[in-house]
Amino acid sequence: MEEQVGSVFRALKARAEQQERARLEREAEQRRLREERERQEAERRRLEAEREERERREWESAVSVASIKAVHAARAKHFGTALEQWKVAGEIRVFCVALDEAAATSDNAVEAERLREWSAWGKAEAGRLDPTMNGKGLAALDFHMEPTGDQLRPFLGGWNPHRPEREQPAARPEPPKPDPEPWRGSIDARQDQGWRYGRQGRAQWWRR
């Protein structure tokens, strides 16, 4: 009887020891898995931080280059517009001189008065258009302008102009064709289709 009790006791003790070893092994495995997950998460965060830093540097470089191009494009556009307006204002003034001369030599007082009225109106329009007068045109624009997001976007190659991330392809407009000197090659207003102010495709000055 005593021997049976001892056998049962030893069996229970062995079972308890086995369960304790299994518990310790489970805890060790859980600890190993937890540490592995933590290591993987730390590695993921490290790689993510490196990626974000790399993208930030690429974005800053792209914005720096795009800013130069966008400012040049804006300057060329403003300069070309001002040059076109200056040419139109000069042509109007020349025409007004001809109107005044015609009025001075006219024998018809009514017609002469009408010509002078048209001349006065034309001179006022020339003054309104002339970008060299009264702080208008280029004088009203900051040469060292800061490009807007929309002005930067065509030169960023898909980068968002406001933050270091890529834009969806659908949101990217077609980049403009290079036109560093848009005032060159303007058509002669007296060729082809008769008298017309401004470059082909632009609104005529009196329609603005």
From first to last of the 208 residues of the chain, give the pLDDT tens digit. Answer: 667 767 777 787 788 888 888 999 999 999 999 999 999 999 999 999 999 999 999 999 999 999 999 999 999 999 999 999 999 999 999 999 999 999 999 999 999 999 999 999 999 999 999 998 877 788 888 999 999 999 999 999 999 999 999 888 754 556 666 555 444 444 344 334 444 455 544 545 444 4
Amino acid making up residue 143: F
Q: What residues pair up with 159 in beta bridges, in sequence order? A: 166
Q: What length is written for the chain? A: 208
Q: What residues pair up with 166 in beta bridges, in sequence order? A: 159
Which structure tokens are listed for 189?
Answer: 């207003």
Domain limits for position 43: 2-207
Residue 70 vs residues 64, 75, 137: alpha-carbon distances, Å: 10, 9, 19
Which structure tokens are listed for 158?
Answer: 């898909």
Provide the whole-model pTM.
Answer: 0.61
- What are the two backbone dihedrals, phi and then psi, of residue 159, each rounded to the nearest 5 degrees? -75, 150
Q: Residue 173: its pLDDT value, please?
A: 57
Residue 179 vs residues 21, 73, 88, 123, 137: alpha-carbon distances, Å: 79, 8, 21, 32, 20
CA-to-CA distance for 128 and 75, rounded, in angstroms? 21
CA-to-CA distance for 113 and 119, rounded, in angstroms? 10
CA-to-CA distance for 188 and 207, rounded, in angstroms? 19
Which structure tokens are listed for 104?
Answer: 């001075």
Residue among 94, 197, 85 nearest 130 (CA): 85
Count up the domains in the chain and report the number.
Answer: 1
Which structure tokens are listed for 197?
Answer: 């102010």
Angle of the 109-129 helix axis to the 2-105 helix axis, nearest 10 = 150
